Amino acid sequence: MERQVIYADLNLSRDSGLESSTSPSLPQNVCQGPSWHRFALKLGCAGITLLALAVVWLSVSVIFLRQKLSIEKTSLDVQESRNETTERPALLTCPTNWHPIRDKCLFFNNAYKHWNDSLADCSAKETSLLLIQDKEELRLIQNLIDSGGIIFWIGLNFTLPEKNWKWINGSFLSSKILQVTGFAGENNCVSVSKTQMLSESCDSDNKWICQKELKPVRNKVCSVS
Ligand SMILES: *[C@@H]1O[C@H](CO)[C@@H](O)[C@H](O)[C@H]1NC(C)=O
Ligand SMILES: *[C@@H]1O[C@H](CO)[C@@H](O)[C@H](O)[C@H]1NC(C)=O
Ligand SMILES: *[C@@H]1O[C@H](CO)[C@@H](O)[C@H](O)[C@H]1NC(C)=O
Ligand SMILES: *[C@@H]1O[C@H](CO)[C@@H](O)[C@H](O)[C@H]1NC(C)=O
């Protein structure tokens, strides 16, 4: 019995459904429905549009961010690789008024000082009084000196305990490589002129030459001042 009732119910509802969809009395229903329906639809549409816009906006900003990040990264890469590629030429650049000689920058000071004060002046500039490696370097330096008897202190003096010419880096002068003209004795320091390396009293007032070595560590000092 119950089964039958259910069946009948189902049948009925199907029938009524069919009826309503085909019935001519639809307009009344449709007229009431659509105005509410349209509003819901509009609302839904607006919601979907907003959602779509949000999605588009989000993906655009994600893409933009990614691009920005990758650009920053590549510019960093470029900077790093530029660092590497221009390291050598950058190292060979001396500051204005400094003269490049091999792997050094030289500064010719135009004041006049005792040897010890010249030494102190170069140190204060985080440089060193000039050291000369060999005859070739001496020739290059002398090419930069005007003729006319101007002489410049270099980082070489006579030290008493050893009774020898000693560079300020602690090495002794090799007389096979470079020779000093003049008296080798107490309180003597060495200067360089257009034509020779000269022994002088350390208390003479002379110009002097500071050097900066173009090594990675020294480079910063070199390019700053
Ligand atoms: C590039 O140079 C900067 C400073 O000039 C330094 O801090 C950095 O370590 C260098 N990078 C490379 C890869 O040499
Ligand atoms: C250099 O020596 C002179 C004396 O000859 C002295 O008066 C002066 O203070 C010294 N300078 C330095 C920086 O040691
Ligand atoms: C000191 O300088 C001289 C002259 O440039 C050089 O021949 C010598 O090798 C240097 N010594 C050291 C320990 O750097
Ligand atoms: C020679 O130079 C050394 C530093 O290299 C210094 O200690 C010494 O006082 C100098 N001698 C003279 C006479 O200036």
**108 shares its domain with 78:** no
Q: 214: helix, coil or strand? A: coil
Q: Residues 74, 104: one domain?
A: no
Tokens of 71: 């650009």
> How far apart (Å, rounded) are the C-alpha atoms in residues 200 and 222?
30
Mutate to test the pocket of ligand 2, among 112, 113, 115, 117 (most ligand atoms within 8 A of CB): 117
- With respect to residue 124, please indicate whether it lies within any of the assigned structural domains: yes
Q: Each residue of 94-105: pLDDT tens digit?
A: 888 999 998 899
Query: Among 180, 168, 106, which Cα is nearest to 137's?
Result: 106
Residues 52 and 144 in one domain: no
Closest ligand 1 atom, CA of 80?
13
Atom of ligand 1 nearest to the CA of 87: 14
CA distance 48 to 154: 84
Q: What residue type is 133 in one-letter code?
A: Q
CB 199 within 8 A of CB 111: no
Statement to judge: residues 212 and 137 lie in one domain: yes
101 and 212 housed in the same domain = yes
Average pLDDT of every residue of the chain: 81
Residues 103 and 189 in one domain: yes
Instruction: Look at the alpha carbons of 31, 36, 40, 46 in this order and tell me if their dihedral is positive or negative.
Output: positive
- The pLDDT of residue 156 is above 70: yes
Alpha-carbon distances of 164 from 92, 142, 156, 206, rounded to whole Å: 34, 24, 10, 22
SS3 16: helix
User: Per mean pLDDT, which range of 99-108, 179-188, 213-222 is the poorest?
Assistant: 213-222
Give yes or no: residues 79 and 109 share one domain: no
How far is residue 3 from each of residues 6, 61, 194, measured CA to CA in Å? 5, 61, 127
For the chain, the domain total comes to: 2
% of residues, the chain, pLDDT over 90:
53
Distance CA 8, CA 15 (A): 10
Query: Distance, CA 189 to ligand 3 centroid (Å)?
Result: 17
What's the full length of the chain, in residues?
225
What is residue 10's predicted lDDT score, i.e. its pLDDT?
Answer: 46
Ligand 4 atom nearest to CA at 115: 14
Give the mutation target among 167, 177, 217, 218 for probing the ligand 3 site: most ligand atoms within 8 A of CB.
167
CATH number of residue 111's parent domain: 3.10.100.10
For the whole model, what pTM was predicted? 0.60
Identify the domain boundary among 87, 112, 130. 87
191: in domain: yes
Q: What is the pLDDT of residue 181?
A: 95
Nearest CA to ligand 2 atom 13: 117
Please give the distance, rounded to the nearest whole angstrom, from the Cα atom of residue 133 to the centre of ligand 2: 27
DSSP assigned state of 95: P
Domain enclosing residue 113, as ranges: 93-216
Is 160 part of a structural domain of the chain? yes
- 7 domain residue, yes or no: no
Closest ligand 2 atom to residue 117 Cα is 13
Sequence-ordered alpha helix ranges (H) in 86-109: 87-91
Pocket of ligand 2 (CB under 6 A): 114, 116-117, 120, 203
For residues 103 and 172, membership in a common domain is answered with yes
Pocket test for ligand 1, best of 75, 80, 85, 217 (most atoms within 8 A of CB): 80
State residue 214's pLDDT score: 76
Is residue 222 in some structural domain?
A: no
Q: Judge if 47 and 134 occupy the same domain.
A: no
Region 12-28 average pLDDT: 47
**Domain assignment of residue 170, yes or no:** yes
159-164 long-range contacts (CB < 8 A, ≥24 apart) are: 160/186
Distance (Å) from CA 169 to ligand 3 centroid: 6
**pLDDT of 45-71, one tens digit each?**
899 999 999 999 999 888 888 887 777
**Confidence band (pLDDT; 50, 70, 90) for 13?**
very low
The residue nearest atom 6 of ligand 3, judged by CA position, is: 133
Statement to judge: residues 53 and 147 lie in one domain: no
